[in-house]
Amino acid sequence: MIDWRATMGTALADAWALVAPVDCAGCGAPDRALCLDCAAALRSRLRGAALPLDSPPALPLVAALAYEGVTRSVVLALKNDGRTELARVLAPPLLAAVEAAWLGSGAEVLVPVPGSRAGAARRGFGPVALILRRAGLVAEPLLRTMAGGPEQKALRLEQRLAAAPRFAAIPRARGRRVLLVDDVITSGATLRAAARALRQAGAEVAGAAAIAATPRRRGASSIPWRFLGDGGEGPGDNEPVEDYREGKEA
Ligand SMILES: [Zn+2]
């Protein structure tokens, strides 16, 4: 169930982060990987949307957080600065989103959306796969990034819409009903491309879950999200943050 070799690498990094001088990834306060105020900002508030695909049905989406402020800083610190110890604080919101998206979806397997090849080569780990492991979730890498896919973050929104990344699903995807898992949903172009590749390979795509979604901005073509429930109780709560403070494995 658990890839121990991969887990050991990040466990060592985590152990080092507990003794090394680190600053809060959210606000820069010293001596903590994440201060208590910033940990509180990562409390899930689930939101949902329906993403139209090339053909119906639309793809149900769930995200736990708004991609701004502390959430954005923590995700970027993990992805760009190699702060792998932060995977454990991003695991509870991802878990909450996956649970909500999984419920009633009929999905049988979680499939992480792979990043660009350049990103994978640069950081040496897949952020989504790492956070899934931290959340105790088992996923199957049924998608591959094809050569020539653009670096999404380097593109403007309009360019992203036009130039979606290219994925291919491996043959084992045929006949499976999958739930896609990504770190951040912005325009939905990446998820559309991922769903297209899976459908072409004979898989069904039941929905998608993500840690965070970029809030809808006036004038920009983006996804209309709505909050699910009140976000104060149930799967939106982040109890494992308590464990993180103690420096224990959640
Ligand atoms: Zn902080």
Quote the pTM value.
0.79
Helix (H, G, I), strand (E, B) or coil at 206: strand
User: 21 CA distance to ligand 1 centroid (A)?
Assistant: 14
User: 194 CA distance to ligand 1 centroid (A)?
Assistant: 34
* Selection from 55, 210, 180 nearest residue 113 by Cα: 180
User: 25 CA distance to ligand 1 centroid (A)?
Assistant: 6
User: 40 CA distance to ligand 1 centroid (A)?
Assistant: 9
Omega within 30 of 0 (cis) for the link into 57: yes
User: 119 CA distance to ligand 1 centroid (A)?
Assistant: 26
Share of the chain above pLDDT 70, in %: 74
Domains of the chain: residue spans and CATH:
4-245 (3.40.50)
User: 18 CA distance to ligand 1 centroid (A)?
Assistant: 15
User: What is the enclosing helix (H) or strand (E) of 122?
Assistant: helix 117-123
User: 193 CA distance to ligand 1 centroid (A)?
Assistant: 35
Q: Hey, which bits of 1-151 come out as E strands?
A: 47-51, 59-66, 109-112, 143-145
pLDDT band at 243 (very low <50, low <70, confident <90, very high): very low
Task: Give 123-153 pLDDT, tens digit per residue.
Answer: 888 999 999 999 999 999 999 998 764 555 5
User: 23 CA distance to ligand 1 centroid (A)?
Assistant: 8
Amino acid present at 16 = W
Task: Give 193-226 pLDDT, tens digit per residue.
Answer: 999 999 999 999 999 999 999 987 755 547 999 9
User: 234 CA distance to ligand 1 centroid (A)?
Assistant: 25
Q: Are 206 and 177 in contact (CB under 8 A)?
A: yes
Task: Give 58-91 pLDDT, tens digit per residue.
Answer: 999 999 999 999 999 999 999 999 999 999 999 9
What pLDDT is attached to residue 234? Answer: 40
User: 81 CA distance to ligand 1 centroid (A)?
Assistant: 16
User: 37 CA distance to ligand 1 centroid (A)?
Assistant: 6
Q: Hey, which bits of the chain come out as E strands?
A: 47-51, 59-66, 109-112, 143-145, 167-169, 177-185, 204-213, 226-227
User: 89 CA distance to ligand 1 centroid (A)?
Assistant: 12
Q: Which residues pair with 30 in a beta bridge?
A: 23
Neighbours of 206 (CB within 10 A): 21
pLDDT band at 121 (very low <50, low <70, confident <90, very high): confident
User: 98 CA distance to ligand 1 centroid (A)?
Assistant: 26
pLDDT band at 12 (very low <50, low <70, confident <90, very high): low
Please indicate whether residue 21 or residue 166 has the higher confidence score (pLDDT): 166
pLDDT band at 228 (very low <50, low <70, confident <90, very high): very high
User: 202 CA distance to ligand 1 centroid (A)?
Assistant: 45
- pLDDT score of 245 more than 50: no
